[in-house]
Structure 1
Amino acid sequence: MVNSLKELIYEPELNNASDPEEIFVSSDINWENYEALLVKLEDNSHYRVTYLDGVLQIVSPSKRHEKIKTRLAFLIEFYLFKKQIKHTPMGSTTLKNRLQKAGAEPDECYCIEEEKDIPDLAIEVVFTSGNIKKLETYRRLGVREVWFWENNFLKLYDLQEESQLVSQYIYGYKQIQASELLPELDICLLEKCTLIADQIEAVNEFERGIA
């Protein structure tokens, strides 16, 4: 039983000592212990917990991480509002499937059109690497699209039917240039405005671009 983060392997990010991300990893964790740890952390929304086949990863995000994920969420929700696309923001809701031995807490996630138990879109802001296969986790959970923000760019992945799987796909996902869920959204514009330092300037630029 994992009683505290001190019992997990600690893997600090070394790229930015002044604003580090902390990663705690442990293997051979059964489902009951995973759920017990979720209960222990339920009052601390700062942590992101991922589980796959007994491997548990907990990330304590950096300030940079939170700034990017908050800006992305704001711009995406602004776009959905301006285009009058029905949606349900689900934040960092814990998604889990015991039979699939998989669980995740995205940085942000959304249901498009109808509300569902599993979101259509999950967003991950990546500043560190770990041993969790995130796309495999989301495949088992049934998330249709996963967007990774990494090195100031978005990488989009679309879940494929099992009958269509080919060797070029990554854990059942095909990398795509434009979203299947939001095909009119200009991803390059979204990337550009996410990186603008001033919030008002970023939103104004984004609004002009989607008009």
Structure 2
Amino acid sequence: MTTLLRISQIETLEGQSTILHDIDWQQFESILEELGEKRNTRIAYLDGELEIVMPLPHHEKVKVLLADFVKALLDELAIDFEGFGSTTFKDKAKKAGLEPDECFYIQNNVAMRGIRKLNMAIDPPPDLAIEVDVTSKTKFDVYRILGIPELWIYDQVLKIYVLQDDEYVESEFSPTFGDIPVRGIIPQFLELSFNEGRSAAMRAFRDWMQTSEQVKSKK
């Protein structure tokens, strides 16, 4: 008989993570149910190992800003998308699950319209996911195993990883945005938001999109 772990017995402090070993799928599902949907923690699960992370407020601010820049650029290019935020993605067959900081369905946006409950056995993974300050190899591996085609990781600099032959390869450019220099330009406006606030940064970003030759060429 499987003994179910009471996650309420464990405290994860801001900016720290808790790693639990030998967690089977039934325990994983029970922990998710106990944690509930309205929480600040993020989880990553792979083949019996569960990591629970409590992000710092700065982390949450950065991930929202990065998502805002992506949304603004997608809208400017008239690219349809569906944002799925920090939805829980889990695949029992692959013994893997995670909650990204932010994620988007872009190429598969039509298939995901109106979806209220995910089933990774039939639903595609997000086309683009964003993570801030990822130091966990477990989470990186879960992205790979779940098959997310494009992963952005921000830790002072922005890195773009593209899934090729089931492995992530770092790329200078985003497959979603082509030769638009998002790796260099988005961190600049992110820094501007720290100094002058979100609204000023977003206005400046929109002004940049209006004048950028790379953006104009994609319209």
Name the TM-score class by shorter chain: 0.7 to 0.9
Match of 2:165 in 1: 161
Q: Distance in 1 between matches of 2:100 and 2:174?
A: 18
Offset, 1:184? 4.1
Deviates more, 1:56-65 or 1:114-123: 114-123
The 3 A distance-change label for structure 1 pair 87 and 184 is farther
Distance in 2 (CA, whole Å) between partners of 1:6 and 1:25 is 14
Structure 2: give runs of 5+ residues left out of the alignment.
113-122, 211-219
Is 1:102 the counterpart of 2:96 in the alignment?
yes
Residue number among 41, 46, 52 corresponding to 1:52 in the alignment:
46
2:206 aligned partner, one-letter code: E
Question: Does the 8 A contact of 1:5 with 1:24 survive in 2?
Answer: no
2:171 maps to 176
- Any residues of structure 2 matched to 1:103-182 within 5 Å, and which? 103-115=97-109, 116=112, 117=123, 118-126=125-133, 129-130=135-136, 132-150=137-155, 152-162=156-166, 172-182=167-177
Kindly indicate whether residue 20 of structure 2 is the aligned counterpart of residue 26 of structure 1: yes
Q: Measure, in 2, the Cα distance between the counterparts of 1:43 and 1:136.
A: 23
Question: What amino acid maps onto 1:175 in structure 2?
Answer: E
Q: CA deviation at 1:5?
A: 4.9
Higher normalized helix content (fraction of residues) = 2
- What residue identity is the alignment partner of 1:177? E
Gapped regions of structure 1 (runs ≥ 5): 13-19, 163-171
C-alpha distance in 1 between matches for 2:149 and 2:36: 26
Tell me the number of residue pairs that the alignment of Structure 1 and Structure 2 aligns: 190
TM superposition score normalised by structure 2: 0.81
User: How far off its partner does 1:83 sit?
Assistant: 1.2
Runs of 4+ in 1 over 6 A off after TM superposition: none
Q: 1:53 Cα shift?
A: 1.2
Instruction: Compute the RMSD of aligned alpha carbons.
Output: 1.8
Shift of 1:45: 3.1
TM-score calculated relative to the size of structure 1:
0.84
- Equivalent pair of 1:85/1:113 in contact (CA under 8 Å): no
